[in-house]
Every structure is written in structure tokens, then in C-alpha cells.
Structure 1
Amino acid sequence: MVEPKMETTGEGMSNYFMLEWDVLDGYCAIFDLPETMPKIHKPARGVRMGSEYPDGLRFRMAKEERGMKIADIIPNAVNYLMVSNRMKGILEQHSGAEIEFLRFVLLNHRGRVASEDCYIANVIGMLDCVDMERSEGDRDALKPDRFMYLRRLVLREDMLDPAAKLFRPTAAPRMMIVRRDLKEQFEKEGVTGATWYAVGSEVAITL
């Protein structure tokens, strides 16, 4: 089996990185939302759910991926940052971000409980910090200030809060941007499931 590695692609001098995930051998993924998931756009855009979210909502491992292990950053196709209970603790201790943790139960391929303590990490809010002139990608026809597909993301660092270590950019709200020191902390903690792309590097990311 191949163990997940924190692979980094792109420019070595960047202070900020895009956090992505891939399904690796032996690990599970989530491809579908539960039918009862309310206000599905909110955790993908940093909007607080509060009591609208039913604690312990059940997500299923994708049948297309037969792995059973649960990574700290859980690969998914539902546009959420989904994490293990261990990763929740790491984020609470080190991220410095306002995060609403929405607990969910993860079912295995047979519908049995694999974990009762997984979370959607809903990083609250967005930062208007993208250099739209230098960034490259396909924009949303209805919202031209947002990208649907990214080829290159460039930040205006002068617009960033110096304290921000984990945040969503307004132009790509489902994307998580991580500052170098927090990325290094994740690496120190041995976080599994993360793939990194340096901000400013060439990418091919669907949002």
C-alpha cells in the first residue's frame, strides 16, 4: 500500500499554499452528499450553519474507492474540508482560524459505522485577496469575480491579514489557503491525505 505523503508542487519560495487532496491506495473517499444535507452551499463558502446542521449526519465511503483507512484530510468530491478527529484537534490548536466543526458519522462500504468522529471543518468567512489580473482560469459566467477552474492563483499579499494562517479566498471560496508555517506544522504532526500547490504555480483545479 502507498502511504499518503504531503507532496508539494510549484514554486519553493511561496509563503502560501493551496490545500488539495487525492485518493491514495488503501484510503477511503467521499463522493456524495447525504440526501438530508441542508443548505449544502454553506460549508463550501464559509457560511456558518449553526443549528441548521444536524449533528452526526451520515456520509458514506465511495464505493468506487475500496480503501478503508481514513486520512486526516479526507478526499471528497463535495467541496468541503473534511477531517478526522485528530485533524480537528490540530486545527483547533494551530490554525488560528475561526472554524465551525460539523460532526458527521462516516459509514463504510457496507453501511456500517467506520467512525463517529469525523468533521466538516467550515472555515468561516472569505478574504478578498486574489489578484484577478494575474490569476488564470475559467470564471463563473454568473459571478465573474469567482473562478470555476484554476490554472494559476496569485494573491495580493498586501491585502492579507498578517495573522491569517488558514483562509478561503473570495474568488475561490471552496479553496483552502495555508501559510507556510502552518503547512510545516501539519508536516511535523504527520498529517495524512494532503497535497499542496504553491500559490502562483501552474495548476489544474476544478472548483
Structure 2
Amino acid sequence: MSKYFIMTTRRHDDFTAIMTYPRAMTYIHKPSYGIRMGADYKEAYPFEMDPESTGLRIADIIHNTVGYLMVSARMKAFLEQHVKAEIEFLRFTLMNHKGRIESDDCHIVNVIGAHDWLDMGKTEGQRHPLEQDRFTRLKRLVLHEDRIAPDANLFRVSPAPGLILVREDLKAQIEAAGFTGPAFLEAGTPIRLVL
């Protein structure tokens, strides 16, 4: 059986982070849940570098607190080549601390849809008070591996749609390519995540 990992990021002193949404951006929840933005994403919205971050380098997977998978052009090209999932890439502009464009070729990776591949009985965490089929915190994420499509190497699960999961072979390719920014948490092991 393949192993699966939650792909996330960790803050690093050398790299910048994003902590807020652009004021003009609407339907901000959609890229966190795998809902297509389409025409609701009207432009390459400007995201600002966190003013508290000392690092100015742009990682291939950009640390953020807005709940998106945000990537460099290099990482976008890799995902386009190696990932089987349907993805809506939403280009954005990264503004530096002086209000100038640092990069106009970064992208939100909106993995479309979420699957019923989570084992609700074995997954540990805190459930949403109004939506009991969703989690707000996770202590252990357990998948129904027998339900996962054979070609699925990057996907979301419906009880925790804000998470991006990757299969071990894709994780190995990301690591071998030397991409900066990613961190991986193995499914089935103890974790602490707020969703």
C-alpha cells in the first residue's frame, strides 16, 4: 500500500510569508475548499508579504495563513506535469514590503473537488460544531486507502477540504527536485493541525 502525506509549509526565516487576503478579493473560501472560482477570480490579485517576516526570498510553496496552496511558477509547472488532479491555477501578484511587485507569476493551486476517502471512525480530532461531517482540528488523519483512485497522487478529502494530500511517489519527486517550502505530515501518525 502507498503512503500518503499532508502537504503543508513551515515558516522559515529566509522566506517570506503571506498573512492576509487582498481587500478586493471575493469568495475567499472557494480555493480553500476546492470550489472553482472561475469568473469570480477577476484579476491577478495583489497579496502582500507579511510585514513581520524578515525573509524576502519566495519559496516554491509559500507559507501562508489564508488556507491556500500558494506556489511559484516553477512549482506550478511541476504540478502541471506530474499531478493527475483537476487544478484551477489562480495567478496572483506578490507585493513586497515597499508596496512594489516582487513577483507577478505566483499561483494559488485550487485542487477542484474533495473525496470521501477519509476514515471518519479512525480519524481523531475535533469536529465542526454545526457540520459534524467536517473537522476543525486534527490529531490523526486516517484514510480509507482502498477507496483512493489508483491514479490519485494529489487530492483533498471532504471532511478536511482545506488540506492537500499527496502520495509518497509525488512527495519523493518534490523532494528530489529541491523545491523550497514544503513540509509533509504522514497520514495515520499523530499530528496537531487547526483547519
Fold match by TM threshold 0.5: yes
What amino acid is the match of 1:167?
F
2-structure distance, mates of 1:91, 1:195: 16
2:6 touches 2:185 (CA, 8 Å); kept in 1?
A: yes
Cα deviation, 1:52-86, whole Å, max 9, x if unaligned, reads 10221100001111210000100000001000010
- 1:74 matched residue in structure 2: 62
- 1:58 matched residue in structure 2: 46
| SS of aligned partner of 1:174 | strand
- 1:144 matched residue in structure 2: 132
The answer to whether 1:45 aligns with 2:33 is: yes
- The structure showing larger relative contact order (alpha-carbon pairs under 8 Å, at least 6 residues apart) is 1
TM-score (norm 1): 0.92
After TM superposition, give the deviation of residue 14 of structure 1 in Å. Answer: 6.1
- Report which of the two has the higher share of strand: 2
Cα deviation, 1:24-76, whole Å, max 9, x if unaligned, reads 02100000001111101110000111111022110000111121000010000
- 2:145 matched residue in structure 1: 157
Structure 2, unmatched stretches of 5+, are none
Following superposition, which runs of at least 4 residues in structure 1 exceed 6 angstroms of deviation?
none
- 1:185 matched residue in structure 2: 173
| SS of aligned partner of 2:114 | coil
Q: 2:84 aligns with which of 96, 119, 129?
A: 96
Q: 2:155 aligns with which of 143, 167, 171?
A: 167
1:14 touches 1:199 (CA, 8 Å); kept in 2?
A: no
How many residue pairs match? The answer is 195
What amino acid is the match of 2:156?
R
- 2:193 matched residue in structure 1: 205
1-structure distance, mates of 2:54, 2:47: 15
TM-score (norm 2): 0.98
Percent same amino acid at aligned positions? 50
